[in-house]
Amino acid sequence: MKNSAMVMTIQDPASQRLTWYKPPLTVLVIKKVRDASVLSPFVQLVKWLITEKRMVVFVEHSVLDDPLLSNQPGFNMTRDKLMPFREGKDDLTDKIDFIVCLGGDGTLLYASSLFQQSVPPVMAFHLGSLGFLTPFEFVNFEEQMINVLEGNAALTLRSRLRCIILRKDEATGKPTKAPTSLLVLNEVVIDRGPSPYLSNIDLYLDGKHITSVQGDGLIVSTPTGSTAYAVAAGASMIHPSVPAIMVTPICPHSLSFRPIVVPAGVELKISVSPESRNTAWVSFDGRSRQELKHGDSLRVTTSIYPVPSICAQDQITDWFDSLAECLHWNVRKKQRHLDELSDLTRSHSSSNDTLDSLDRPDALDS
């Protein structure tokens, strides 16, 4: 093109690296709840961060109330140095330099929900059951933590969805209260709830009516969420660096309704169809479940605040390792080489020759 400014350039994911403009001083440690196996790693980590790195460590107030922690060696001496916070009451904005998660994928989703604007870099250790989003092993955590604190790490910028619920009075059509706004990392799900009837949901793309969804519901997911509920409903898997939004029907009452991928910059509007027999229910990353009534609408678009997830190796290696280890992607018995088949054929032939020789009369006489 003559005007080089109009040529679209795509950023190389490998160029996304962790850079500290100043040494990190505060860290938020999120621990998987109701799991005794995480207690010892948690105590080791917070003691090391406080004593060796002289950092201010924030933890949930409910974590300190766990009676099992008191039985961990050395924790009582560390307890008073921890900074507790309460979800929904204490604002962590601009207080945290980076986040450490100990557990499964749910810990990363929870960390995302705590920050409805800019999110600090997240380092997630695999101490849960699945671990698709948690690439780090805890065995040599000191070495890995030092690499991250020195800025020797790659980043995956995981996009989030900005979801806004607009409520309207069915009789007057006027807004009833201020819109509800939430950010989600995996997906927003609209379903029929306890109703026995099919969902009947209208889907709009940038103001244009695209289709009506009749079935059990609809999943609107990020690329990160494409390997969660969406893939279980038949969607493709999208690398988290791809700028896109995935729309996946849940058990659609149509054989031709396939999942679609739309550009990240569009706005989706979802509402209950006027002729629908029932309302709908919506949940955000499995939380904040609420009813979507006639006249209400849900607006979904890509947020400007992604989750910077720290890579154990790099963006590509981490993702494909997770596909192989967690989902057993494309795992099957390997096809035999032709040489192996030839050897088996020769062996089979020689066995048959021996049996044939026994069937000959002269062989019996001898």
CATH number reported for the structural domain that contains residue 79 in this entry: 3.40.50.10330
Task: Report the DSSP pairing between strands 83-85 and 56-60.
Answer: parallel
CA 206-233-221 angle, 5° bins: 35
For residue 89, what pLDDT band results from cuts at 50, 70 and 90?
confident
Averaged over 91-97, what is the pLDDT? Answer: 91
149 plus 192 within the same structural domain: no
Tell me what pLDDT residue 349 has. Answer: 66
In a domain, 323, yes or no: no
Please choose, from the candidates 286, 318, 332, the residue with its C-alpha nearest in 3D space to the C-alpha of residue 137. Answer: 318
Residue 361 clears pLDDT 50, i.e. is over it = yes
Enzyme catalytic residues: 105
User: By percentage, how much of the chain surpasses pLDDT 70?
Assistant: 89
CATH number of the structural domain spanning residue 201: 2.60.200.30
In a domain, 321, yes or no: no
Residue 348 clears pLDDT 80, i.e. is over it = no
pTM value is 0.86
Averaged over 301-318, what is the pLDDT? Answer: 95
For residue 362, what pLDDT band results from cuts at 50, 70 and 90?
low
More confident residue, 64 or 317: 317
Tell me what pLDDT residue 60 has. Answer: 93
Tell me what pLDDT residue 197 has. Answer: 94
Tell me what pLDDT residue 172 has. Answer: 67
242 plus 181 within the same structural domain: yes
Overall number of domains in the chain: 2
Instruction: For 321-339, write each residue's pLDDT tens digit.
Output: 999 999 999 988 888 888 7
141 plus 238 within the same structural domain: no
Residue 10 clears pLDDT 70, i.e. is over it = no
Report helix, strand or coil for 189.
strand
Residue 186 clears pLDDT 60, i.e. is over it = yes
E strand residue ranges, the chain: 26-31, 56-60, 83-85, 98-103, 122-126, 155-158, 161-166, 180-184, 187-191, 199-205, 208-215, 217-221, 244-250, 260-263, 268-272, 280-284, 287-292, 297-302, 307-310
For residue 353, what pLDDT band results from cuts at 50, 70 and 90?
low
Averaged over 72-97, what is the pLDDT? Answer: 87
Averaged over 332-347, what is the pLDDT? Answer: 77
Q: What number of other Cβ atoms are within 10 A of residue 144's Cβ? A: 19
More confident residue, 176 or 263: 263
Q: In terms of residue numbers, what domain contains 150?
A: 15-158
Tell me what pLDDT residue 366 has. Answer: 44
Q: What is the mean pLDDT of the chain?
A: 88
Tell me what pLDDT residue 334 has. Answer: 84
Instruction: For 253-308, write each residue's pLDDT tens digit.
Output: 999 999 999 999 999 999 999 999 999 999 999 999 999 999 999 999 999 999 99
48 plus 20 within the same structural domain: yes
151 plus 181 within the same structural domain: no
For residue 73, what pLDDT band results from cuts at 50, 70 and 90?
confident
In a domain, 257, yes or no: yes
Averaged over 178-199, what is the pLDDT? Answer: 94
Q: How many residues does the chain have?
A: 366
Task: Report the DSSP pairing between strands 83-85 and 287-292.
Answer: unpaired
Which helix (H) or strand (E) segment holds residue 358: the answer is: helix 338-359
251 plus 296 within the same structural domain: yes
Residue 105 clears pLDDT 50, i.e. is over it = yes
For residue 52, what pLDDT band results from cuts at 50, 70 and 90?
very high
In a domain, 117, yes or no: yes
